[in-house]
Structure formats: C-alpha cells, structure tokens
C-alpha cells in the first residue's frame, strides 16, 4: 500500500459521506450538547492529572512521526497523558460521529479540511474560535486559503496543523534517457509537452495518467483551477466543472493517453510503481509520497511545484486540522488539557513536516529549518495558490459523479465534455438534496 492509499484510502465520499451518513442520526447535535468552546489558556495546564484520548488516521508514513510527538508531549507534561488511537481514515470517519452520538467521543481528533463543514453541521465537533483566540492564532500566520478553509458559517472548527498539496515528481534517470536536463524539470505547458514528446521519441511513456481519485481527480482539480475554472458556482448550488475550463482540463488528461504519452488503463497506484521502476519520467502526486520514495534504492528523483498548464498557477491540496469532538458532558479539565496538547503539537510542526507535510504556520514554513527539508520546501512553494473544496456540508457526495466522469474519460470510455455534462446533472441533484438535508 502506498502512502496515497494509507493517507486517504477513499474518495471524498470516504472522508465526508461516511461521516455524514453515520452522523445524520436524528438528535445527534442535541444529545451531544457539550461545551461550545474549550477552557484554559492553552499555555499551561495546572489541574489534576487527566487522560486524553486522541483519535487520528495517521496509518501511513506520517504515523511514526505523530506517535513520537505524542510520546514527547507526555514526557514533558506529567499531569496530562495522551493516548492515541489510530484507525484507517475510512473507519475513523465512520466511528467518530457514532462515538459522539453515544457519549463516548475522544477528547481530541484530526480531520481533513474538507470534512469540517459536514461534521460541524451535524454537531460532531466544537467551534474553536475561543481556542484560536487564546492560542493567539490568526490569519496573519497562515496562508489565507488554509486559514479560511477551517471556517464554517462564520465560526472556526479546525486548527490547521499542515497542508499536503499535490506536487510534481520527476525521475532524473528517465529524463536523461531522452536527453532532458534532469535538474530542470519542465514548469510551463510548452516545456512540459516538449519533454513528453522527447520522452516518447526515446521510447518512454512520459507519465501514467491515472483514472482514479488518487491522484487523477486531484490532477483534474488542479488543471481546472489553472484554466481559470471553478468546481461550483459561488453559492455552491450548481456545478461549474463542466464549463470550458473543465472540458479543457479533462481533455488535456485524456489526450496524454490518446497520444501515447501515458499507457492506457492505469491501475490504482500503478503510476507510482512505474515511476519507482524507472518506467515513466513524471508523476503528479501528493507530498505524502516523499518519504516512500526516499526508501527506494537507486531511485534518482526530485520534486517541484506542479507545472503551469493553464493561464494561472494552482494546485490541489488537503489539510489536517485539529478538532475537539463534542462531549455529552463537558469536562473543563480535559478541555483545558486538550488545548495545551493542540498548542504544543502546533508548535512542533517542523518535526511533523518531516513526516511529509508542509507546516500550516507561516513562521515555521518560512524558517531556515524548513527550507532544509528540500523536498517538502519545494512543494511548499505553492502555498499561496493552493485550493481546497468549498466548506459546504456533504460536498464530498457532490464529487462522486465527477470522479466517475474523470475515470470514464481517462479510460477512453466516454468523451470528456459529455462525461462532465452528465456528471454535472447528477451533482446538481446531490447539491439540492444536501441543501435540504443539512439546512
């Protein structure tokens, strides 16, 4: 299993739909009417000894880094013991709403940024404006998109820990086979296509275009935004991904297959396997791939920002956020201790970055220590033009038809424009249903 699978094993339906379907039980918010905020300053905990449960889905290469940080926190805070429980992300998003509904919620959790709105709407997690205020966190120390993505209906529900964008991986050995400079990866549309043509002439498939969510859908999102398009209209009531920008983005992906720059019918993670085995030169993948590639003997590779194929720079990204699940009965000592934990881990985000992340905090991201993490820093250059899905409950469900359209088009089973048009119609119905479901 690659990091892409272990990091996020399902489509966004796995992130959001499961949580929504389980959390949609009637009365969830009512039976979980714990504190609307968190007590304490977040700087120091002086109360009685407490045990905190911390649920997360860090089962991939980032898992050992979080485990190490938790152990270090426990060693430095004798009156707080944090016990992490790790689930696969799919199981995590299924279990958390159920745990809240039954009064057995963990004290601390982690959520992907595109899960916050759904769980906020369902009363699964607490608003954290007071936590951000007491920790003196503000938009000034975060990229605008990262900070704003943690808000829903004017309230903050997530404290950003990191950003994990899509990046451009290049195989230096394969590039050299086509007389391409292995230290100069292409960054413009013309240079990228010229490189692919040179690789094809040398008998090499330039890249393996995957039809799967990981990372084909992420590639489509990036290209859509690069072409000036949007996934949905401003009100998030209608899809916009079938407009000209979306058709251009998906057509570009499909043409790579039609023109022989990519093999056909690429299986899940087969793109990464081909890259690691020196069969392809390029791979668009997440930052979580870094540590896995470092373990491949003899692989000569580098990573850079995504090439700019459209009229502007843009790249898909996700973000892990700390959340505090609602409790049936608030415990101010635990809330205060949880705040100390979130604050302390946030301050260690340089160590967390070593697990394959870009620190959310600007002060850490711009430090010389982070710059020394060459690969993470290269992908981190994109932070000012990263994009996230809109913070709307159930948004993941509205992506399902689009994911299918991308799959069918890249597999050459359906025309890009027609596939997107059909997907938009289905997605519009889901958005309307969600508007009624979530209010």
Domain CATH number, residue 145? 3.40.190.10
The number of folded domains in the chain is 2
DSSP 4-36: HHHH--S-HIIIIIHHHHHHTSTTHHHHT---S
Token duo for residue 368 = 């010389």
**Which residues make Cβ contacts (< 8 Å) with residue 397, sequence separation at least 6?**
13, 16, 17, 20, 430, 434
Residues 51 and 121 in one domain: yes
Token duo for residue 385 = 């033009």
Read off the DSSP letter of residue 37: S
Residues 179 and 313 in one domain: yes
Residues 271 and 326 in one domain: no
- One digit per residue, the tens of pLDDT, for the chain of length 439 reads 333 333 333 333 333 333 333 333 333 433 333 444 445 667 789 999 999 999 999 998 899 999 999 999 999 999 999 999 999 999 999 999 999 999 999 999 999 999 999 999 999 999 999 889 888 888 888 888 889 999 999 999 999 999 999 999 999 999 999 999 999 999 999 999 999 999 999 999 999 999 999 999 999 999 999 999 999 999 999 999 999 999 999 999 999 999 999 999 999 999 999 999 999 999 999 999 999 999 999 999 999 999 999 999 999 999 999 999 999 998 999 999 999 999 999 889 899 999 999 999 998 999 999 999 999 999 999 999 999 999 999 999 999 999 999 999 999 999 999 999 999 999 999 999 999 999 8
**Which residues make Cβ contacts (< 8 Å) with residue 389, sequence separation at least 6?**
12, 114, 231, 395, 396, 399
Q: Cis bond leading into 182, ω under 30°?
A: no
Residue 248 lies in a domain: yes
The H or E element spanning position 346 is helix 332-347
Token duo for residue 307 = 């090439």
Residue 227 lies in a domain: yes
Residues 170 and 273 in one domain: yes
Alpha-carbon distance of 340 to 342, in angstroms, equals 6
Alpha-carbon distance of 30 to 106, in angstroms, equals 18
Q: Cis bond leading into 159, ω under 30°?
A: no
DSSP 94-133: HHHHHHHHTT---SEEEEEGGGHHHHHHTT-B---HHHHH
Residues 154 and 298 in one domain: no
Phi, psi (degrees; rounded to nearest 5) at 221: -55, -45
Alpha-carbon distance of 45 to 239, in angstroms, equals 47
Task: Please identify which residue in the block is written with the tokens 């997690």.
Answer: 125
State the residue range of the domain holding 249. Answer: 165-317+393-438
């Amino acid at each position: 299993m690659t990091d892409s699978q272990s990091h996020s094993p399902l489509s966004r339906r796995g992130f959001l739909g499961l949580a929504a379907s389980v959390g949609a039980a009637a009365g969830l918010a009512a039976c979980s009417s714990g504190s609307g905020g968190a007590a304490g300053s977040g700087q120091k905990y002086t109360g009685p000894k407490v045990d905190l449960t911390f649920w997360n889905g860090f089962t991939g290469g980032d898992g050992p880094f979080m485990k190490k940080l938790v152990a270090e926190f426990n060693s430095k805070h004798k009156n707080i013991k944090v016990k992490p429980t790790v689930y696969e992300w799919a199981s995590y998003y299924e279990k958390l709403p159920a745990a809240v509904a039954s009064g057995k919620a963990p004290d601390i959790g982690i959520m992907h940024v595109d899960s916050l709105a759904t769980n906020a709407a369902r009363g699964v997690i607490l608003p954290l404006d007071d936590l951000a205020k007491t920790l003196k966190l503000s938009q000034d120390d975060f990229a605008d998109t990262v900070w704003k993505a943690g808000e829903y209906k004017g309230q903050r529900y997530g404290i950003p820990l990191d950003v994990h964008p899509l990046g451009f991986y290049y195989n230096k050995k394969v590039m050299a086979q086509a007389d391409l400079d292995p230290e100069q990866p292409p960054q413009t549309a013309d240079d990228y296509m010229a490189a692919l043509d040179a690789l094809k002439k040398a008998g090499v498939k330039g890249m393996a275009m995957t039809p799967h969510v990981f990372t084909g859908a992420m590639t489509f999102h990036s290209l859509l935004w690069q072409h000036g398009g949007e996934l949905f209209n401003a009100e998030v009531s209608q899809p916009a991904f079938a407009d000209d920008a979306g058709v251009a983005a998906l057509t570009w992906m499909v043409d790579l297959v039609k023109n022989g720059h990519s093999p056909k019918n690429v299986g899940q993670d087969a793109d990464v396997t081909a890259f690691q085995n020196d069969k392809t030169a390029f791979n668009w993948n997440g930052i979580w791939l870094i540590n896995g590639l470092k373990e491949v003997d003899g692989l000569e590779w580098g990573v850079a920002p995504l090439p700019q194929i459209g009229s502007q720079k843009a790249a898909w990204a996700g973000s892990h956020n700390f959340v505090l699940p609602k409790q049936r009965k608030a415990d101010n000592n635990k809330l205060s201790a949880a705040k100390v934990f979130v604050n302390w881990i946030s301050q260690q985000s340089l160590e967390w970055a070593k697990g394959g992340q870009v620190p959310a905090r600007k002060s850490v991201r711009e430090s010389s220590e982070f710059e020394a993490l060459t690969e993470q820093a290269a992908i981190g250059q994109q932070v000012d033009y990263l994009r996230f899905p809109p913070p709307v409950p159930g948004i993941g469900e509205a992506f399902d038809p689009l994911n299918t359209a991308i799959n069918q088009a890249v597999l050459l089973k359906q025309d890009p424009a027609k596939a997107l048009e059909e997907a938009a119609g289905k997605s519009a119905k889901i958005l309307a249903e969600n508007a009624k479901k979530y209010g």
